[in-house]
Chain A
């Protein structure tokens, strides 16, 4: 019996028992799908995070403060800044020109007077208070250490919207789960300007009404409010236009409160930090944290792969079981084959080809299904990331996973089918024909 005859016979057998064949293929399909989906998701997740690490982003950013570096702390992740020092356009340009810097995002903040309509637990009006408002370019939010936890981010350039932090919720006596309560609330915020009539100074407020549209966790700068750069800059300009503004209101003189510097790759973070320190500014970057993240990502990938492989092994056991049942059911058929001259190795070949066919089909369908599941998961993830104003993920299906899924399923099926094939081949012809 040739290989061609064996394949024809195997296909015919599969077609004659479509239910069993379908269930066997389905088992392999589901296992291969699970493996493909897990590997695709873990590869994409790792690529995404490693992209952040290698090409820059919130994880690989360096925070530059408007302050002198403290020589004793330059190598610490969260170094304490030294004496205040103006961070102006010249310094920004100098840092931007560093060879391993990809992007420099300015951060401005200002202290504002806030009136909230919220009331405390006893129903009393909350006294007006002063708090820092952090202004950033909201188009570059995905590169900053800012995470949306409820609602949405203010529209880019908007002067009528702000997001608040957990600190604001705590000020109102609210917990994290109460965040939706503050969404839509309108606040009155004012920046002060010192004016003089020649004899006395007084503070004149520039009030603006803003709506809370979201709750964020942010580490860009200290402050319970996140707004557009325009909102903060207008407030700073108003304050700066007053007489002797910096001393009367204790306002910062630095044009920028800080800079968020994105290095060209995680490997350049230390070098860029040292260069910025040499320019004369204090920096902070989570270098130790990043090293830990990389290690844990590897562990996650190994665990996910192990889960997929376990699923494949279970599927292989299913194939083996189905083939053993087939041998038992088809004893008479095996006997007839042997009676008309088929050798042991011919019977062995028929059963092995049948197992291989089931494994191959399961591998093909499973890989396709796994990709489909990964794509759906990717769609959900991208929807979430889009709501967070973050860059979406691009799913990557490594060719190794495709080839490995199909070839691996086929090989595993062949291995699983070996024992039943050997049993079928060794079945004595007379015993097989008699069906005993």
Chain B
């Protein structure tokens, strides 16, 4: 009698065993998917030394005469080409000459421990009639000191708006200083559209083409 009864019980045993295994599998599956919110989080990136970019210059860099801050060329450069964690400081002043930049902007750049610098100083020196030799010597000093502070320096110059542009000698001097100091020369071309968003965008793109890789971003 006993063996006959044992058969269905053995089947029941197998069924119960299978159910138990499935139950444990289900529980184990639940426990492995426990990371919750972590899956939707941006990945952790390896920390790298942050890029600190400083923009030295005059009104062309400060753009105090323009209203939309996010559309100014240094801001566009920062927003679109700097890696996260990067720092940008616009040190330009409205009436920035090379001399005033040495006195005010250079110490600030060194104090900020900048790694990349753009220098665009034309209009105020042109307006004040700074002698070309003085302009060249001061610009050389500025670039040398920036480089001594560990910065990669980009010298920006605008191109002639008209063939007889009075700024041409000064613009040529910028190229001479770049050649002497090893700074990278960036030709911005005609900047007569500087006050427009499109002009700012063009300047940003031109500078980005030269400097972009050093900003750590795209």
Q: Please give the residue numbers on chain A whose beta carbons come within 8 Å of chain B beta carbons, in ascending order.
A: 16-20, 22-23, 26, 115, 117, 125, 128, 148-152, 155, 157-161, 180, 183-184, 186, 188, 195, 197, 204-214, 241, 373, 376-377, 379-384, 387
Report the minimal beta-carbon distance from A356 to chain B, rounded to whole angstroms: 21
Contact B36 A383, beta carbon cutoff 8 Å: yes
Question: A128-B69, A376-B28 given as contacts; is B36 within 8 A of A387 (CB)?
Answer: yes
* Residue of A whose beta carbon sits closest to that of B53: A207
* Residue of B whose beta carbon sits closest to that of A115: B70
Residues of A within 8 A of B35 (CB): 383, 387
Contact B2 A16, beta carbon cutoff 8 Å: yes
What are 26 of the A-B contact pairs (CB < 8 Å)?
A17-B9, A19-B8, A20-B9, A115-B69, A117-B79, A125-B70, A151-B42, A155-B44, A157-B47, A160-B84, A160-B86, A184-B42, A188-B79, A204-B90, A204-B91, A206-B87, A208-B85, A209-B84, A211-B84, A212-B42, A213-B41, A373-B27, A380-B30, A387-B34, A387-B36, A387-B37
Report the minimal beta-carbon distance from A48 to chain B, rounded to whole angstroms: 17
Complex CA distance for A379 and B28, rounded to whole angstroms: 10
Residues of B within 8 A of A148 (CB): 37
Contact A197 B31, beta carbon cutoff 8 Å: no
* Residue of B whose beta carbon sits closest to that of A152: B41
Stretch in contact with the other chain, from B10-18, B155-163, B204-212: B10-18
Complex CA distance for A117 and B79, rounded to whole angstroms: 10
Contact A383 B31, beta carbon cutoff 8 Å: yes
Complex CA distance for A205 and B78, rounded to whole angstroms: 13
* Residue of B whose beta carbon sits closest to that of A197: B93
Complex CA distance for A123 and B60, rounded to whole angstroms: 30
Question: A18-B6, A22-B13 given as contacts; is B89 within 8 A of A206 (CB)?
Answer: yes
Residue in B28, B42, B50, B87 whose CB lies within 8 Å of A213: B42
* Residue of B whose beta carbon sits closest to that of A180: B40
Residues of A within 8 A of B87 (CB): 206-208
* Residue of A whose beta carbon sits closest to that of B13: A22
Question: A183-B42, A387-B38 given as contacts; is B83 within 8 A of A16 (CB)?
Answer: no
Residues of B within 8 A of A115 (CB): 69-70, 79
Contact B84 A155, beta carbon cutoff 8 Å: no
Residues of B within 8 A of A161 (CB): 84
Question: A379-B31, A383-B36, A387-B35 given as contacts; is B47 within 8 A of A155 (CB)?
Answer: yes
Contact A188 B16, beta carbon cutoff 8 Å: no
Contact A209 B86, beta carbon cutoff 8 Å: yes
Within 8 A of A (CB), among B131-170: none
Q: Is B82 an interface residue (CB 8 A)?
A: yes
* Residue of B whose beta carbon sits closest to that of A210: B84
Residues of A within 8 A of B111 (CB): 241
Question: A373-B27, A380-B30 given as contacts; is B37 within 8 A of A204 (CB)?
Answer: no
Q: Please give the residue numbers on chain B whose beta carbons come within 8 Å of chain A beta carbons, in ascending order.
A: 2, 5-6, 8-10, 12-13, 16, 27-28, 30-31, 34-38, 40-42, 44-45, 47, 50, 69-70, 75, 78-79, 82-91, 93, 104, 108, 111-112
**Main SS class of interface, B:** helix
Complex CA distance for A186 and B79, rounded to whole angstroms: 9
Contact B37 A151, beta carbon cutoff 8 Å: yes
Most buried by A among B8, B9, B13, B108: B9
Contact A18 B13, beta carbon cutoff 8 Å: yes
Residue in A205, A211, A212, A376 whose CB lies within 8 Å of B27: A376
Question: A22-B12, A205-B90, A209-B79 given as contacts; is B40 within 8 A of A150 (CB)?
Answer: yes
Residue in B16, B37, B45, B78 whose CB lies within 8 Å of A209: B78
Question: A186-B84, A208-B86 given as contacts; is B6 within 8 A of A19 (CB)?
Answer: yes
Residues of B within 8 A of A158 (CB): 47, 85
* Residue of B whose beta carbon sits closest to that of A332: B1
Complex CA distance for A186 and B78, rounded to whole angstroms: 12
Report the minimal beta-carbon distance from A189 to chain B, rounded to whole angstroms: 10
* Residue of B whose beta carbon sits closest to that of A207: B88
Report the minimal beta-carbon distance from B43 to chain A, rounded to whole angstroms: 9
Contact A384 B36, beta carbon cutoff 8 Å: yes
Contact B6 A151, beta carbon cutoff 8 Å: no
Question: A23-B16, A207-B78, A376-B31 given as contacts; is B37 within 8 A of A160 (CB)?
Answer: no
Report the minimal beta-carbon distance from A334 to chain B, rounded to whole angstroms: 15
Report the minimal beta-carbon distance from B80 to chain A, rounded to whole angstroms: 10
Complex CA distance for A23 and B16, rounded to whole angstroms: 8
Complex CA distance for A18 and B70, rounded to whole angstroms: 79
Most buried by A among B38, B47, B93: B38
Contact B12 A17, beta carbon cutoff 8 Å: no
* Residue of A whose beta carbon sits closest to that of B27: A376
Residues of A within 8 A of B16 (CB): 22-23, 26
Complex CA distance for A27 and B82, rounded to whole angstroms: 65
Report the minimal beta-carbon distance from B107 to chain A, rounded to whole angstroms: 11
Residues of B within 8 A of A188 (CB): 70, 75, 78-79
Report the minimal beta-carbon distance from B105 to chain A, rounded to whole angstroms: 10
Complex CA distance for A214 and B39, rounded to whole angstroms: 11
